[in-house]
Amino acid sequence: MSAPSAAVLGLAGPRLEPEERAVLRALDPWGVILFARNVENPAQLTRLTGELRAALGRDAPVFVDQEGGRVARLRPPHWRGWPAPLDAALAAGAHACRALWLRARLIAAELAAVGIDVNCAPCADLALPETHPFLRDRCLGSTPEEVVPRALALAEGLLAGGVLPVIKHLPGHGRATADSHHALPVVAAPEEVLRATDFAAFRPLAHLPVAMTAHVVFPAFDSEPATCSPAMIGVIRQEIGFAGLLVSDDLGMDALSGTPAQRAARAIAAGCDVALFGNGDLADRVAVAEAAGPMTALAQARAVAVLANRRPAVPADTQALAAELAGLGPGQAA
């Protein structure tokens, strides 16, 4: 069997159009990512994820960004509403880790019920005074000592619910003062500061199966954004110690230069295992998958290990879990 394309691609809308179905069959991307534009209600979403896997002819991973707060693709009235992760952690105080585990387990139950099995969370970036507002309340704390146990709680809650977590954004986005959706952030901190803080928040998470890169330049190491930098991928692999599947942040973001296809080629050449492209027309999606090419043997081995972590949910009484979460104080769920 030939290797899947080293790509995770988005879709145009809430239904799989015939032309998209044909493209998925022809290109065979490793996975698909869904956005709010793809979501209407549970029945529609369940049907869509089933059609995606049928088109690909395998139990392909289906990604979504369901952090809670501003970054949530599944929303009320069909799904729970969640405060931003940092707000939830602060509101829970000494019970932050338990609250975050419960939150993640309940999110996982909602995702698994509609056929979504990969959630792009948690953000282990540090929430610092300079952190851009687009990211700050998506973080979990201001120091590695705060972030690590909270990120692990979220990741473990997702895994218990049958959903794979994606830690992000390696090697650290918290010091960026620009929004990478619109501009390329440059973090001028020296090596020793980054190693002691931003990188340190990810090292204890390096055993998790999937991670996402940051579209951020770290001049102390390289002049290229981390997603497209062999030097920074080396930091992620060697210094941070992440050995799992490394996925690019969305290549449709304006932080990167060039066409989507050029960005994909640069990310794969730098050492990303998979190029993620969520937004763009069908021609761009085709170009990204073609530029990414088939997964390398090493990327395939990592992908196999990732899917081996995809296990059925541990049985749980979600009503009891929701009641426990509510008992930890206001500000945990809408």
In this structure, what CATH number is given to the domain that contains residue 50?
Answer: 3.20.20.300
Q: Is 334 part of a structural domain of the chain? A: no
pLDDT at 334: 64
Residue 182 annotated as catalytic? no
Residue 181 annotated as catalytic? yes
% of the chain surpassing 70 pLDDT: 99
How many other C-beta atoms lie within 10 A of the C-beta of residue 143? 13
What is the end-to-end Cα distance of the chain in Å, rounded? 46
Query: Averaged over 170-193, what is the pLDDT?
Result: 95
- Nearest-angstrom CA–CA distance, 301 and 243: 11
pLDDT in tens, 78-127: 999 999 999 999 999 999 999 999 999 999 999 999 999 999 999 999 99
| CA torsion through residues 5, 240, 221, 174, sign | positive
Q: Is 173 part of a structural domain of the chain? A: yes
Token readout for 108 is 């996982």
pLDDT in tens, 188-224: 999 999 999 999 999 999 999 999 999 999 999 999 9
Count of domains observed in the chain: 1
pLDDT at 330: 80
Burial of 46 (0-12, 13-18, 19+ CB in 10 A): middle
- Nearest-angstrom CA–CA distance, 271 and 77: 41
Query: Averaged over 51-70, what is the pLDDT?
Result: 97
**Residue of 65, 249, 250, 273 marked active site:** 249
CA angle 273, 256, 193 (to 5 degrees): 80
Containing structural domain, residue 144: 5-327
Q: Is 332 part of a structural domain of the chain? A: no
Q: Is 177 part of a structural domain of the chain? A: yes
Q: Is 33 part of a structural domain of the chain? A: yes
Is the pTM value of this prediction over 0.85? yes
Q: Is 333 part of a structural domain of the chain? A: no
